[in-house]
Structure 1
Amino acid sequence: MIELKKKGKEKVREMSYKSILRKSMKQKRKGLSIDKKQNKDKIILEKLLNSSYYKKSRIIFVYVSMDEEIDTHGFIKKALNSGKEICVPKVISKDRGMSAIKIEDFSKLKPCGKYKILEPESFHNKIDEKYIDLVIVPGLVFDRKGGRIGYGGGFYDRLFLKLKDNTPKIALSYDFQVIEDVPIEEHDILIDGIITG
């Protein structure tokens, strides 16, 4: 039998707890009725559009929602119509992360990769992440201290390292996705706010 060091056991326990939280929140999101989801998404979108974060920003990086995620499609279209510069993720690879690609038209996004997430077709309009004024962050579980559990790929943690230090990182979340305490690791970067509904 191999004896684990205490720290190693804590790490294993923390990782399994993260897995349990991810699975639980995915199920809770799936359990929302279409009407309830649409209502909550509308409230969250209005709060985002009325936030000082949005009003002060010129270049916004935002995830393109899929499945049970809070719908960002309407937000992207409204922001583009309002003259904001919108960047969305385009995955390079699991190891190299993703790039921020500026878009002009939501309808030009195409399903890409294993999960068929809507992305720009090319890296043609890639922008330097240092110019981004606001990042809209996806995730599964959050706490009020800035802790976040994403989907486990580390894509956003790597993106955060490329931003200016003062770029706000704002999560969109259903109220039940915010818990008392999220297990975080040393390399995790905290978010700056959560918009819930």
Structure 2
Amino acid sequence: VGDEVDTRSLVRDAWAQGKSVALPWCVPGTRRMRWFLVSSLDGLVRSPFGVEEPVPDPALEVDPQAEPRALAIVPGLSFDERGYRMGYGGGFYDVFLAEFAGASVGLCREPQMAPVGTLALDEHDVPVDVVVTEERVIRPRR
């Protein structure tokens, strides 16, 4: 969405490596996401938020918590070197990350990296484990 990194090439690479890919569907009226396996980007539909999402199909729903080796790719408008992100203000990824046991990787363009202390943070904000830009990999110290 907007200035966030386009993840379609990552999805295609994952499929080429035989990996399963699940994309989020934002549950209306909540800050929760449900995850659905996808085998093509052709069937995605634009949500009210302007995000391409899978059609919720119970037969394809997965629980990212059930897979300890799950990797979440987290887009953002901006990240800082501590792994905190600025998104579009819905809080969906913060709710998800607070419960997620797998590894999380934030994607951001280098010019959009924010100096530490400049992002407006709330008590519910959850950092990602690693931030990747086109120039570097940042592993926040915790």
Please indicate the TM-score interval, normalised by the length of the shorter structure: 0.7 to 0.9
Structure 2 matches for 1:152-191, cutoff 5 A?
A: 152-164=89-101, 167-181=102-116, 182-191=119-128
State the match for 1:127 in structure 2: 62
Measured in 2, the distance between the counterparts of 1:104 and 1:95 equals 26
State the match for 1:114 in structure 2: 48
Measured in 2, the distance between the counterparts of 1:68 and 1:188 equals 20
Q: CA RMSD in A?
A: 1.7
Number of residue pairs matched by the alignment: 129
Q: Which runs of 5+ in 1 are unaligned?
A: 1-65
Higher helix share goes to which structure?
1
| Structure 1 residue ranges (4+ consecutive) displaced by more than 3 angstroms after TM superposition | none
Q: CA deviation at 1:149?
A: 1.2
Q: Is the 8 A contact 1:86 1:102 kept in 2?
A: yes
Q: Which runs of 5+ in 2 are unaligned?
A: 135-142
When normalised by structure 1's length, the TM-score is 0.60
Structure 2 matches for 1:46-61, cutoff 5 A?
A: none
* Identity across the alignment (%): 29
Q: Is the 8 A contact 1:140 1:150 kept in 2?
A: yes
**Of the two, which has the highest radius of gyration?**
1
Structure 2 matches for 1:83-98, cutoff 5 A?
A: 83-98=18-33
When normalised by structure 2's length, the TM-score is 0.81
1:192–1:100 distance in 2 versus 1, CA, 3 Å: same
